[in-house]
Structure 1
Amino acid sequence: MAKHKYPIGIQTFDKIRSDNFLYIDKTELIYNLAHGNSQYVFLGRPRRFGKSLLASTMHCYFEGRKDLFKGLAIENLEKEWKKHPVLHFDMSKAKHLNEQELEYYLCLQVEEYERKYCCDDNVIGSGNRFARLMKHTYEHTGSQVVVIIDEYDAPLLDVAHEGDRLKNLRHIMRNFYSPLKASDPYLRFVFFTGITKFSQLSIFSELNNITNVSMWDKYAGICGITKEELLTAMSEDIDLFAEHNSLTREEAVKELTENYDGYHFSPQSPDIFNPYSLLNCFERMETGSYWFASGTSTYLIEMMRKYKTLPSEIGGICKATADNFDVPVETMRSIMPLLYQSGYMTIKGYSPLSKIYTLSIPNKEVRTGLMKALIPNYINAELPTTVIGELAEMFLEGNIEGALCLLQKFFKTVPYCNDIDHEGHWQQMLYVVFSLFGAYGDVEVHTSDGRVGLVMVLWGKLYLIETKLDKSAGEAMCQIELKNYAERFSLLSLPTVKIGINFSTRERGITDWKVEEV
C-alpha cells in the first residue's frame, strides 16, 4: 500500500498534476461555476482551505490546458476547451504594505501581463493600467479575458481595525478593482477569492451583478475535503494512519473526524475536513494542531479583546441569521462574523422555517488552539503543555484531587494579573483549562433553582463545578446540594462529579476544594 504524495504548501494545479501529487477532484464544480449564470463570482473561505489551488485550477482550465485534466470529471464535461487569456493576480503577498508599497505592488502585477501581451506601460496609476490592460489583451488576442483575483482582501485584513490606514489602503484597492465594471465587454469570467467582504470596495458596491456563492449548497464542498472524499479518494491513507497508530479503521476515522472535520459553509453543506491539517496529519502520521499553528492572526486575538469576548461565549453555541455573521468585517458589531469567516466558528445547524443558523467551533483542533491563545488574557502566562497533559491524564484516571492540586501549584507560579476580584474570572479560567483537553460545557448554566457556575462533560462524566471567591469550598459544595443541581442533568445518564472550589484574591488562586462523585 503506497503512500500518496501530499501537496502541502503547493498551490499550483499544473505542478500537482505534473508531479503526481494527490489531487481531490473538484473539476465538476469548477465547470458548473464557469458555466453558470453569473460572469462575476466571489467565493469566501478561511485561510489554507484551498482557495489558491482552486484559482490555479481555474486558470489552467480557462487556458485550455486539456492535458492536465486527463482522468478528471471535467474531461467528459468540456467539449471545446477554448483558450482564453488569463490575468491572475495574487494579493496574498501584499500584506503589511503601506500606501506607496501597495500601489507599487499592484503596478508590478499589471506589468507582468503588459509585457506578455505587448501593452505599453505609459499610463499612470495601477487602476488605469489595469483598465487598459484588459481592453488591450482582448484586442491583442481576439478572445475575451478571464480575470482571477486570489485573496483579494489580503492587503486590508490586518488593518481592518485601523481607521485611517484602512481608509487609505481601501482607496487604492477600490481604484484598482473599479475598472472591472466598465471592462465588461472584454471579459469572459471574473473570479474573486477571499476571507471576508469589504463593503466599501468596488467589487461589492459598483459590481452590483457579482454573485457571492460562499454560502450556496451546490458549492459548499468546492474547497476542503468532504467526508465522502476522505473515505474514497483517501481510503488508503486512512488505513496507513490506522496501522501506524495501532488503531482500527473506524477508530482512525473517528480520530480524524474529531480533530479536523466539522466545517459547514451552507445550510445543506456536507461535512468538510480542514485540508491543510488533514494532509499534514497523513504526512506525519500523527494528529496535531497544524492549521491553527500555521498562522493564527494576532489581529484576531486583539479583536477578541476589543469586543471583550469571553471563552465560554465562543466555546458554546450561538444562534444567528446570515445577516449577523455573513457581513463585511469593517461593519461588524461583534466578534462573531470574524470568527465565522476566518474558520474559527462554523455552521452546525439551520432552521428553514426561522432561517436561523446555529454556529459553534468546528472541531477539537480549533477549540484547543483558541483556548490556548486566550489563556494569557486571564493569567498573564501560558499554560505549559506538560501541565495540560498531566491534567488530562489525571481527569481521565479520575484523580480529581491530584488535578486540582496541580492547578493550585500552577496558579502560584504565574505573575500577578488584574481583574481577579470577581468570581466570573475564575469560572472562565476553569472553562479554558477544561476545554484544552476536550471538554464541552458552559458557564452559569440555568436550572430550575438557580445557576450552576460551570458544567462540563469530559470522557463520559458530567462535572458540576461551583466556585466561591474568598469564602470556602464547603459553601460552594453546599450550594450544589441545596439547589440539587444534579437532578437538572439526570437525563444525561452520566456519572456525575460535584466539585466545590474556593478562590482567594489574596492568594491569587485556589485555596481549598471538595469533590464528591455520584
Structure 2
Amino acid sequence: MATALKLPVGIEDFKEIRRQGFYYIDKTKLIEQLLDNWGKVNLFTRPRRFGKTLNMSMLRCFFEIGADKTLFEGLYISQNEQFCEEYMGRFPVVFLTLKGVEGTTFEEARLSLAELIAAEARRFKFLQESDSLDADDKEMYRELISLNKEQSPVTSVKLRFSLKNLLELLYKHYGRKTIVLIDEYDVPLDKAFQDGYYREMVSLIRGLLGETLKTNDFLQFAVLTGCLRVSKENIFTGLNNFKILSITDVRFDEQFGFTEDEVKKLLNAYHLESHLPEMKEWYDGYHFGDANIYCPWDVINHVELLCKDSKAEPKCYWINSSGNSLVKRFITKANKTTRDEIERLIAGEPIEKSVRLELTYDEIDNSIDNIWSVLFTTGYLTQVGMTEQGAYKLVIPNKEVREVYKLQIQDWFDKKLRDNTEQLTAFWNSIEEGKTEAIEQYLNRTLSNSISVFDTKAPEKEKESSYHTLLVGLLTGNTDWVVRSNVEAGEGFADIIVEPEDPDAGIIFELKYSKEANGLQISCEKAIEQIKSRRYSEYLKNDGRHNMTFYGIAFYKKRCKAVVETIKET
C-alpha cells in the first residue's frame, strides 16, 4: 500500500528510491521527451532542490549498459515497450555531479575536479583488461584514474581532455557512443566567484566542456543541469547544437518539481488531503513554462513531518537548506528605488522587470537589475505574466520565500542600525529627555531609509506588531537600559517598558497603528490614555521608580508621531 512507503527526504539516487521502497513521483516521461525533442547538448536550468540530481540519476539508470529494467516497472516509460527495447541499457554513461567541486584556492578546486573525474573513470576498470584497447589506450586510462595525483603544471591541460579521452576509450571498448550527464555544472563557478578565482575556473570549465561536448565523435548526447544559465560566450563557446531549457521554456516544464495533481496524489497516499491549502500557500507559486509548480524539497519534508504530527505548522525547508547570499547581496546594494520595489513584493504586488536569462557571474554585481535576473532564475522570484514590452511581471512565489526576504531584510537593517551608533545614542538621549521632535525625526528617517517589512495587506494588529519589533530592536541596543516587551502591568500588558540607569526613572511606550496620516495625533493621545487608564505604571512603582515618562507613538506607513507625558508618582 502507498501509505507504507517511506518518504525520500534528501535521497537523490533513483536506484535507491526504487529498490528501497520509497515514494516516487514519476518523472520518467523526461526520458521520452529528451529523445523526441532531440538536442545534442541539453542544458536544464532550475532552482536548487527541484529534483535535478534525481532526474539525472534516473537518466543514468535508464540508459546505462547493464540497466536494471525492474527499476522502471509500473512507471510511465515502461508502457512504451518499443522505446525501452531500443534505448534502455544501450549506452555507456558518464555521470558527474559538480556540486562538491570547490576550494578556497583555484588549485584546491582543480584537484577536487580531478578527483571527481578520476573516481568516475575508476568505475570502468574493465578498460585495463579490454582486448579492444591497445597499450597506448591503456596508458591513457591509467593517467585518467591518476588525475588527482598529478601535481605538475600540466594538470589543467590533462583535465581539459580527460572526459573526451574517457569517451574515446569507452567507444573503443563498446563500439557505442557515450551519454554524458553533468549535474550542477555552475556550482564550481559560483564557488570560484565567491572565493576570488573565477576567471581561472571559467577557463578550466570552458576547456573541459568544450572538448567534451563540441564536435566529439564519441558523444551520443549530453544533459547538463544548473541553477544559473551562464553566458554561452563565457562557457559554451562554439557549441552549435546546444539546447537551453530554462524556467521560461514550455518544453519539459512539468519534469522538475511537483505539479498540483502530483501533490494531491501524494497527500492522498498519506491521508493528508486537508493540508493542500497550506502546501499551496507555503510551497507552490513557481511558474515554469506553462506549468504551476511546487517545490519538491518542501513538499516531501512537510509531508514527512505531518506523518509524525498532523498538527505540525509549515516550516521553511528550502530556504534553510543552504545560505541566502544572493538575497543578502541584493539587499546590501539596494537603493531607495529598489527598497520600494522590495516592499511591494513583500506586500504581494508584482513588479515589472526586464530579465536577462544569460549572465556571467562577474556581471552580477555590475547593475542592480542583474540581481533581479538572478533572483528570478534561482527561485527567489517567479513570473506571473509579461507586459506588452516584454518585461516580466515578477512576484515572490510563496509564503516561505517571502519569509526569507523579511528575515534577511531585518538582519541587514539591524546591522545598519548597529553601524550607526552615534545617531542611535542621540535617539536614546532624546527618549530620556522627552524630546519628541528629535524622536520623530530619527524614527521617520529610519523608516524612510530602511526596507520596510510592514505588510500593507496585513491585519492592523500585525502591522502594529511590526513597528513594535522595530522599536524594541532600537531600544535594546542600549546596554544601560533594561527593556521589556509585552509586560504584564496594572490591568493589562504594556507594549514596552524601559528601566534606565537612573533608579528613580521609568519609561513606558504604547504603540498604535493609524489607518491614515491625519489620525496620528489622535492615536498618540489614545495610547497615552491607555497607559494611564490601565495603570501600567504600577509595574515601575513596584520597582521603586516614580519619575515616569509615558510615550504614545503612532505609525502610518513610513511616518510616525510621538506624544510624551511626564508624571512624578508617589
TM-score by length of 1: 0.72
Shift of 1:122: 3.4
Question: Does residue 290 in structure 1 map to residue 326 in structure 2?
Answer: no
* Pairs within 5 Å for 1:86-485: 86-115=93-122, 116=124, 117-118=127-128, 119=138, 120-122=141-143, 125-160=158-193, 165-199=197-231, 203-214=235-246, 215-237=248-270, 239-240=271-272, 249=274, 252-266=275-289, 268=290, 270-285=291-306, 286=312, 287-308=314-335, 309-310=338-339, 311-312=342-343, 314-315=345-346, 316-321=349-354, 323-332=355-364, 333=367, 334=369, 335-350=371-386, 354-380=389-415, 398=461, 407-414=470-477, 464=515, 466=517, 473-474=520-521
Kindly tell me the number of residue pairs found equivalent between the two proteins: 414
Question: Does residue 75 in structure 1 map to residue 82 in structure 2?
Answer: no
C-alpha distance after superposition, 1:212-232 (max 9, x if no partner): 112321311111111111123
Provide the residue aligned with 1:13 in structure 2.
14
Shift of 1:255: 1.0
User: How far apart in 2 are the matches of 1:415 and 1:159?
Assistant: 41
C-alpha distance after superposition, 1:185-236 (max 9, x if no partner): 2111100000112226765322132101123213111111111111234423
> Is the contact between residue 284 and residue 293 of structure 2 (CA under 8 Å) also seen in structure 1?
yes
> Is the contact between residue 314 and residue 361 of structure 1 (CA under 8 Å) also seen in structure 2?
yes
C-alpha distance after superposition, 1:231-252 (max 9, x if no partner): 2344233x33x6xxxxxx2xx2
Secondary structure of the corresponding residue to residue 185 of structure 1:
coil
Letter in 2 for 1:30: I
> Is the contact between residue 95 and residue 181 of structure 2 (CA under 8 Å) also seen in structure 1?
yes
When the two chains are superposed, the root-mean-square deviation of aligned CA atoms in Å is 3.3
Shift of 1:306: 3.1
User: How far apart in 1 are the matches of 2:69 and 2:514?
Assistant: 59
Shift of 1:377: 1.6
Provide the residue aligned with 2:535 in structure 1.
none
Letter in 2 for 1:207: L
Identify if the C-alpha distance between structure 1 residues 368 and 406 changes in structure 2 by more than 3 Å, giving closer, same or farther. Answer: closer
Secondary structure of the corresponding residue to residue 205 of structure 1:
coil
> Is the contact between residue 197 and residue 329 of structure 1 (CA under 8 Å) also seen in structure 2?
no
Provide the residue aligned with 1:492 in structure 2.
none
Letter in 1 for 2:99: S
User: How far apart in 2 are the matches of 1:53 and 1:501?
Assistant: 46
Letter in 2 for 1:312: E
Highest Rg: 1 or 2?
2
User: How far apart in 2 are the matches of 1:172 and 1:476?
Assistant: 64
User: How far apart in 1 are the matches of 2:105 and 2:464?
Assistant: 55
User: How far apart in 2 are the matches of 1:406 and 1:104?
Assistant: 48
Provide the residue aligned with 1:245 in structure 2.
none
User: How far apart in 2 are the matches of 1:288 and 1:95?
Assistant: 30
Provide the residue aligned with 2:39 in structure 1.
38
Shift of 1:97: 4.5
User: How far apart in 1 are the matches of 2:59 and 2:392?
Assistant: 31
Shift of 1:355: 3.8
Letter in 1 for 2:245: V
User: How far apart in 1 are the matches of 2:143 and 2:16?
Assistant: 35
> Is the contact between residue 170 and residue 201 of structure 1 (CA under 8 Å) also seen in structure 2?
no
C-alpha distance after superposition, 1:141-176 (max 9, x if no partner): 1111010000001011144366x6211121121122
Percent identity over the alignment is: 25
- Return 403-412 or 336-345, whichever deviates more: 403-412
User: How far apart in 1 are the matches of 2:345 and 2:278?
Assistant: 23
Identify if the C-alpha distance between structure 1 residues 406 and 71 changes in structure 2 by more than 3 Å, giving closer, same or farther. Answer: closer
User: How far apart in 1 are the matches of 2:171 and 2:243?
Assistant: 23
> Is the contact between residue 283 and residue 299 of structure 2 (CA under 8 Å) also seen in structure 1?
yes
Letter in 1 for 2:91: H
> Is the contact between residue 43 and residue 193 of structure 1 (CA under 8 Å) also seen in structure 2?
yes
Shift of 1:112: 2.7
Could you list the runs of 5+ residues in structure 1 that have no partner in the other structure?
243-248, 383-390, 417-461, 478-497, 505-509, 514-518
User: How far apart in 1 are the matches of 2:10 and 2:558?
Assistant: 49
Identify if the C-alpha distance between structure 1 residues 189 and 379 changes in structure 2 by more than 3 Å, giving closer, same or farther. Answer: same
User: How far apart in 2 are the matches of 1:56 and 1:3?
Assistant: 24
Shift of 1:400: 6.9
User: How far apart in 2 are the matches of 1:340 and 1:126?
Assistant: 33
Shift of 1:279: 0.8
* Pairs within 5 Å for 1:494-505: 500=556
> Is the contact between residue 177 and residue 202 of structure 1 (CA under 8 Å) also seen in structure 2?
no
Could you list the runs of 5+ residues in structure 2 that have no partner in the other structure?
129-137, 145-154, 307-311, 418-453, 480-512, 525-553, 565-570
C-alpha distance after superposition, 1:123-145 (max 9, x if no partner): 75211222211111111111110
Provide the residue aligned with 1:446 in structure 2.
none
Letter in 2 for 1:13: F
Identify if the C-alpha distance between structure 1 residues 402 and 60 changes in structure 2 by more than 3 Å, giving closer, same or farther. Answer: closer
C-alpha distance after superposition, 1:73-106 (max 9, x if no partner): 1012223224211111110001344211222222
Identify if the C-alpha distance between structure 1 residues 313 and 201 changes in structure 2 by more than 3 Å, giving closer, same or farther. Answer: farther
Shift of 1:320: 3.3
> Is the contact between residue 138 and residue 144 of structure 1 (CA under 8 Å) also seen in structure 2?
yes
> Is the contact between residue 159 and residue 165 of structure 1 (CA under 8 Å) also seen in structure 2?
yes
Letter in 2 for 1:66: K
Letter in 2 for 1:345: L
Identify if the C-alpha distance between structure 1 residues 326 and 177 changes in structure 2 by more than 3 Å, giving closer, same or farther. Answer: closer
User: How far apart in 2 are the matches of 1:292 and 1:5?
Assistant: 24
Letter in 2 for 1:67: T
> Is the contact between residue 205 and residue 235 of structure 2 (CA under 8 Å) also seen in structure 1?
no
User: How far apart in 2 are the matches of 1:58 and 1:70?
Assistant: 15
Secondary structure of the corresponding residue to residue 87 of structure 1:
strand
Letter in 1 for 2:556: G
User: How far apart in 1 are the matches of 2:63 and 2:236?
Assistant: 24
